[in-house]
Amino acid sequence: MIDVDLILPSGWVYLPTTPGLARLRKRTIDGIVRQALPDTLPRDKAGPWRRMLHAELTQATDEAERQGARAVVMPTTEMHGMRLPGTLVLSIIEDDGDIPDPRQVLDGLLADAGADGSALDIGGCPAVRISRLVDADKIKRTSPAVRVSYYIAAPGAPGVWGLLTFTVLTDGDADAEPVQAIVLLFDMVVSTLRWSDRVDVPTEDELLAR
């Protein structure tokens, strides 16, 4: 199975969203909630927050599964006293139809993106990065968000692409230094992507046993 590996900073979590890993996803979400709101907190005060966090994580990962994503990646701990308001969705796309040259696809993406797009190399593979500002009403918030999408061609596998999209919430100023610092951190995570071809893919039971 064609897959990718990412190097995540401490305090980040990889939530699988493929259909066969629902139990593993639930256990991971349970762990995130326990870490954020430990059992030592008063139940009457922490209980509603636990349920809300669990529901938000479940809803986000269920939506990613419906979209065919491979995983959701997110920071779960604060950095320098600040919670990082962003999530990354990882998908692997396999085109079964006519397979054009990857460079032509990337050139077309760049042409459509204009000044918002840039060509780069990730792990020895050609890629395109596209950054856009998302209006507040589209994400049901009072402030816009920065959305960055990466399209990365798989080596030796025409028609296979990695699509990584991360969204960083703002307080109104997308160019603010803290927002750009978080965007840079997500960029650094994407830059660690490496393709792999997994022969013996572990089952969900094997992953849970670990």
Report, as an integer, the average pLDDT of 136-151: 81
The answer to whether residue 206 sits within a structural domain is no
How far apart (Å, rounded) are the C-alpha atoms in residues 75 and 8? 9
d(CA 24, CA 32): 12
**Could you give the number of structural domains in the chain?**
2
Q: Please tell me whether residues 38 and 109 are part of one structural domain.
A: no
Report the predicted TM-score, pTM, of the whole model to 2 decimal places: 0.87
Domain assignment of residue 159, yes or no: yes
CATH number at residue 109: 3.40.1000.10
Final residue before a domain boundary, out of 68, 83, 109? 68
Nearest-angstrom CA–CA distance, 127 and 149: 10
Split at pLDDT 50, 70, 90, the class of 11 is confident
Residue 208 within a domain? no
Whether the per-residue pLDDT at 182 is higher than 70: the answer is: yes
* pLDDT given at position 140: 66
> Which of 9-13, 96-100, 128-132 shows the lowest per-residue confidence on average (mean pLDDT)?
96-100
Domain identity same for 46 and 149: no
User: What does the pLDDT read at residue 79?
Assistant: 64
Centroid of chain to Cα 100: 26
Q: What is the CA radius of gyration of the chain?
A: 18
Q: Which residue has the tokens 């990718």?
A: 4
Do 44 and 114 have their domain in common? no
Q: Is 25 domain-assigned?
A: yes
Task: Give the mean pLDDT of 167-175.
Answer: 86
25 in the same domain as 81: no
Residue 133 and residue 58 in one domain = no
Same domain assignment for residues 128 and 112: yes
Q: Residue 33 CA to chain centroid, in angstroms?
A: 19
Does residue 6 form part of some domain? yes
The answer to whether position 209 is within a domain reads no
b/e code 77-115 from CB counts within 10 Å (16+ = b): eeeeeeebbbbbbbbbeeeeeeeeebeebbeebbeebee
Confidence (pLDDT) at 138: 63
Whether residue 149 lies inside any domain: the answer is yes
Is residue 62 domain-shared with residue 73, that is, in the same domain? no
User: CB of 107 within 8 A of CB of 188?
Assistant: no
How far, in Å, are 98, 186, 188 from residue 125 at the CA level? Answer: 21, 18, 16
Domain annotation covers residue 210: no
Are residue 106 and residue 181 in the same domain, yes or no?
yes
Residue 151 and residue 126 in one domain? yes
Total residues found in the chain within this entry: 210
Residue 74: domain span? 2-17+69-201
pLDDT of 95 reads 80
Mean pLDDT of 51-59: 87
Concatenating the DSSP letter of every residue in 166-180 gives EEEE-SS-TTSHHHH
Render pLDDT for 117-143 as a digit per residue (tens, 0 to 9). Answer: 999 999 999 999 999 988 876 656 778
Task: Give yes or no: residues 6 and 101 share one domain.
Answer: yes
Same domain flag for 144 and 182: yes
Element (H, E) at 31: helix 22-36
Which residues make beta-bridge pairs with 131? 148
Residues 168 and 76 in one domain: yes
pLDDT at 1 over 80: no
Q: DSSP state, 79?
A: B
